[in-house]
Structure 1
Amino acid sequence: MMAPEAKNQCCESLPFDVLSNLPENVIDIILMCLPFRDAVRTSILSNIWRYKWCRLPELTLDDAFWKTKNNLICHTTAITKIIYHILIFHEGPITKFTLCVPKSRSCPMIDDLIYFLAKNGIRDLVLKLPFKSEPYELPPSFFKSLQLRNLNLQNCLILRPPTFKGLDRLIRLELCEVSISSEDLGSLISHCLLLEHLVLYIAETYSNLIEINAPRLKSFYFAGSVRSIFLKNIPLLAKLLLASSDTDYFGEEKWDIAKFFESFESFSALEHIYLNMLFAAEASEVPTRLPFSLNSVKRLDISVDLYNSVEVSCALCLIRSFPYLQYMDISEAYPKYDIEEAYQVEFTSDVTFNHLREVRLTLASGSIIEMQLAKLLLANSPMLVRMLFASCVVKASAAVKKLAAELTTFQRASPKAEVSFIEN
C-alpha cells in the first residue's frame, strides 16, 4: 500500500483539472464510447467539456436514451426540446443517426431533423416511429440524402418524387411497415445500384408484383405476402429468407409453386434459404420436385406445419430440388398436441441426401408424424454426421427427448450418424 506521503506527492504532481487538459482526440474517444445520454451529461464536468458532445458524428436516441429511473420520457414536448437542442448546438458532420420515438407519441420536428441530417452528410439513418393511423410522410429533403449507405425506416410513408433518381450509394435498406406503392418500391430498389442487403417487412398485399431488381444484392429478407414479389435480377444473391404472413390470397386463385421458384434457376450464388411454408398452404397441385435443381443451395431452414399435407408436400418438393444440401433445420410452425391419427401425414420420398451432414429438428410433441420425418432423413442420408432434436415448448421436451432416444436404435444409412437431444 502506498504511504500517505507518497500519495500526497503523486496528487501534487497532477494538474489541477485533469479532465480539462485531456487531448481533444482522447475526449472524442471517451465521448464515442459513452451512450449519447451520458455523453451529453459530460457538459457539467467543466466549461471546456460543456459543448464537446456537440461534435459527435454518431447520435443514438433509442429506448435506452429515453428511459429514466422511473419511466420513459414520453412527453412530446420533452422529445421536441431534445431534438431542438441537437439542431441548435451540434457542429460538424453527422454520419450516423438513430431515432426511435416512444410508442403513442408524436415528434413534430422530424422534418427539420431530416433536413438537418441531409445537409450534414448523413450516411446511416435509423428512423423508427410509433404506429399511428397516418404514417409519417418523408419530406422532400429526405430524397436529397445522397450520402446514405444504410437506411432503416419504420412506420413511414414514401412518396417518391418524379425527379428522384435513387440512392446510388446505398448498401443496406430495411423497411418495416412502410407505406409505398409496389411501383415506387420496385423503382427505389432498382435505382440503388450498390444495394447488397435488403430487408422488407410489409403487411400490405399488393395487386401488382414488386420487382426485386438488384444485381449486387447478396441477402434478401422478406416478411409479408410472398405472392407479392417477383425476384427478377439478383445473380449474386447468397442468402434468402421468405416468411409469409396471413395476408396471402387464401381462398382465391391457387398458387403455382413451380412458377414462383422458376426464377431461382439462375441464382447460381444462392447457398442459404429460409422458408416459412405458410405461403404454400393454398398451393395448387404440388409436383414431386421442381423441374430444375438448385445445386448451389447448401443450407435449408424450413418452418412447416407437419399436420398440413399441402405444406409438407411443398417442403418435400423443395428438399428434393436441393441435391447438395449439407445442413437442414426443420421446425414446427404451429405446435400441436394429442393429434388424432386422421390428421397424420405419411412421409414418402425417393430422394437420397448424398451430401447432408447435419439435421436439426425442433419439434413439439414427439408424435408419430415427427418420428416418421426423422426416420425418413436417417434412412436417406448416407453422409449424415449429426441429428439434433430440440423442443419448441418446455412441457414437450420429455416427449421429444424420448423420441430421440428411440431413434438411436433405428437403422440409418450413415454408420457415423449421432442422434441426440439438446436443451433449449
Structure 2
Amino acid sequence: MDMISKLPQGIIETILCLLPIKEAVRTSILSSEWRYHWTKIPKLVFIEDAFQVSANEVAELTDELPELPVWEQMFDNPSKREELFAKRCKLFYAINQVLLMHQGPIREFTLIMEYDRSFDEFNHSMQVDRTCVEIDRIILHLSKKNTIKKLHLDFNACYEGYKLLISLFSLHQLTDMFLSDCTIYHERSFNEFGCLTTLYLECLWTSEKTLLRLLSSCPSLKRLTLESDSSTISDSGHTTIDKLFECLPVIEHLSISFFIVKCFVPERLPKELPTALVHLKYLSLNHVCFIHIYGLRFLALLIRSCPNLEKLKLLLYSKYWLDEVDMGSFTLEDYSDIVLEHLNELEIVEFTDAENELDFVKLILAKSPVLKKVRIFSCSASEEDEESRISDVLLCSPCASPVVKIIVKRMNSN
C-alpha cells in the first residue's frame, strides 16, 4: 500500500481510470492520503447497466412515481418500471455527486444509458423529460469547465433521441466525439471544432442542412462514421452528395451508411467529385445494394475519387431496396478509368453471389496491382462447395496483383 501511495500522481490517476467509477471512488476509504485521489481522475465513465438497486432502494426512490396502471401491463414483472426508474435516479445521483466533488480537469466523459423501446411511449410522458433535464445539467457543467477532449454520449433507443444543448458545441477542445440516438436541429452555424479529428454519429435525428453545417465546422476531421436510417434525416430535396464530401477535405477513415447517401438526391449523382478525397485510406460503405444501379454508381463515384485508398469494406444489403430494383448492366469497360494503385485489402460481407457482385470483385482484382487480401463472407445457405466455386471463379479472372489471397467463407461458418 505504501509503495503505491508513493507513486507519482499521474500514474495513480492512470490506475484509477482503469477502474469502474464506483470502485475508484471507494479507494477514498483506504487512507487519508487516498481520500481525494479519485477527485482528480481525468476520465469519467457512467454506464447505467452497471448500477444495481436493492428492493429497499426501489421502494425509497419510487415514492414519487405516479400511478400509471397501463405501464404495469407492459411487463411480466409489475415492479419492472419501478426498478428502471430507481436505477435512473441512482445513476444521476452518482454523476452529480462525482461532478460536485471533482477537482481536476475532465478530459474524457462517457454516459451510456440503456432504454427499453417498449418502455419509451409511456416513459416519455414523465421520465424522459426529467432525464433530459439531468443530461442538460451534465452538459452545462462540462461546457463550463471546457477541458474535455473525448465525449461519448449513447442514449440507446431514446424516444427520437436526446435533443442536444447548443452549449455542447462550445466544447472547442474536443478531439473525439461519439453521439448515438441524439437529436440536432439548429438553424444557426456551429462554432468551429478546430481540434475535432474523430466523429461518430449513429441514429442521429437531424436535417441534411444541419448535418452539413456540423461537418463543415470540423475542418480537421480525419475519422468519420455516419450510421443512421434515412427516416432520421429530413431532407429538403435540394442538396447533392458532393456537398457532403466538400465538408471532408482531410478525411482519412470514412464509414457511411447507404441510407444516408440516399438522402442526397440520387438523381443528381455526379460522375466524379469536384475535389478528390486524396487523404482517404479506409472506406466502409454499409447497406449498399448491387441490384440497384444507383448503389453501383455511387460506389464507383467514391473509389474513383479516392486515389490513395488502401482498404475497402462493403456490407451488402438488398431486401430494403427490392422496391427500387434496377438491374442495369455492369461491365468492366464501364469503369475502365478506375485506378486503385494503393488498395491492398477488400472485404465484402453478405455476399449473395449475384452476377453484379462477382463482376465488381473481378473489377477490383483487375485494377489493384498491390492487392494482398480479398475476404468475402457469403450469406448463401448452400453447401460448402459454393465457397470453393466462388474462389475458383475469382482466381480465374484477370488479377493485377500476383500475390492476392482470396478467402471465401459462409456467414455462419467459423
- Cα pair 2:185 2:207 within 8 Å, conserved: no
Query: Which SS does the other structure have where 1:315 is aligned?
Result: helix
Higher-RCO chain (CA-CA 8 Å, sequence separation at least 6):
2
Counterpart of 1:196, as a letter, is: T
Report whether the alignment pairs 1:408 with 2:368: no
- What's the counterpart of residue 238 of structure 1? 222
- What's the counterpart of residue 134 of structure 2? 138
1:233 offset after TM fit, Å? 3.5
- What's the counterpart of residue 92 of structure 1? none
Report whether the alignment pairs 1:332 with 2:316: yes
- What's the counterpart of residue 216 of structure 1? 195
Correspondence for 2:149 among 164, 171, 174 = 171
Counterpart of 1:316, as a letter, is: A
- Cα pair 1:102 1:130 within 8 Å, conserved: no
- What's the counterpart of residue 318 of structure 1? 302
Percent identity over the alignment is: 20
Query: 1: distance between equivalents of 2:271 and 2:395?
Result: 30
- CA 1:209–1:243: 2 relative to 1, 3 Å: farther
Counterpart of 2:211, as a letter, is: I
- CA 1:338–1:209: 2 relative to 1, 3 Å: same
| Gapped regions of structure 2 (runs ≥ 5) | 63-81, 116-122, 156-160
Question: Aligned ranges for residues 75-154 of structure 1 at < 5 Å?
Answer: 76-77=57-58, 103=84, 105=86, 107-108=88-89, 113-121=94-102, 123=106, 124-131=108-115, 132-133=123-124, 134-135=128-129, 136=131, 137-138=133-134, 142=138, 145=141
TM, length-normalised to structure 1: 0.66
Report whether the alignment pairs 1:367 with 2:354: yes
Counterpart of 1:333, as a letter, is: Y
1:386 offset after TM fit, Å? 2.2
1:240 offset after TM fit, Å? 1.2
1:221 offset after TM fit, Å? 1.0
Counterpart of 2:196, as a letter, is: L
1:203 offset after TM fit, Å? 5.4
TM, length-normalised to structure 2: 0.68
Query: 2: distance between equivalents of 1:363 and 1:34?
Result: 38
Question: Aligned ranges for residues 368-383 of structure 1 at < 5 Å?
Answer: 368-383=355-370
Query: 2: distance between equivalents of 1:359 and 1:415?
Result: 15
Deviations 1:171-227 (A, max 9, x none): 01223345335xx44x522x2121100112245474747747311111111122572
**118-127 or 235-244, larger mean C-alpha shift:** 118-127
- Cα pair 1:278 1:311 within 8 Å, conserved: no
- CA 1:60–1:73: 2 relative to 1, 3 Å: farther
- What's the counterpart of residue 286 of structure 1? 269
**127-136 or 409-418, larger mean C-alpha shift:** 127-136
**354-363 or 118-127, larger mean C-alpha shift:** 118-127
- Cα pair 2:338 2:367 within 8 Å, conserved: yes
Correspondence for 1:261 among 245, 263, 266 = 245
Deviations 1:88-143 (A, max 9, x none): xxxxxxxxxxxxx9746554466654443233126354434454312411278646
Root-mean-square deviation (CA), in Å? 4.4
- Cα pair 1:337 1:365 within 8 Å, conserved: no
Deviations 1:222-258 (A, max 9, x none): 1225724122243322211111323255786254111
Query: Which SS does the other structure have where 1:412 is aligned?
Result: coil
**129-138 or 353-362, larger mean C-alpha shift:** 129-138
- What's the counterpart of residue 229 of structure 1? 211
| Gapped regions of structure 1 (runs ≥ 5) | 1-21, 82-100, 149-164
1:62 offset after TM fit, Å? 4.7
Counterpart of 1:405, as a letter, is: D
- CA 1:34–1:139: 2 relative to 1, 3 Å: closer
Query: 2: distance between equivalents of 1:257 and 1:337?
Result: 19
- Cα pair 1:388 1:419 within 8 Å, conserved: yes
Counterpart of 1:357, as a letter, is: N
- Cα pair 2:370 2:401 within 8 Å, conserved: yes
Deviations 1:13-34 (A, max 9, x none): xxxxxxxxx64847999x9687
- CA 1:310–1:250: 2 relative to 1, 3 Å: farther
1:286 offset after TM fit, Å? 0.8
Deviations 1:383-418 (A, max 9, x none): 222222223577687645532231111112223323
- What's the counterpart of residue 12 of structure 1? none
- What's the counterpart of residue 5 of structure 1? none
1:36 offset after TM fit, Å? 7.4
Query: 1: distance between equivalents of 2:302 and 2:373?
Result: 22
Query: 2: distance between equivalents of 1:300 and 1:212?
Result: 28
Query: 2: distance between equivalents of 1:263 and 1:26?
Result: 49
Report whether the alignment pairs 1:305 with 2:289: yes
Correspondence for 1:188 among 160, 163, 168 = 168
- What's the counterpart of residue 376 of structure 2? 389
Query: Which SS does the other structure have where 2:231 is aligned?
Result: coil
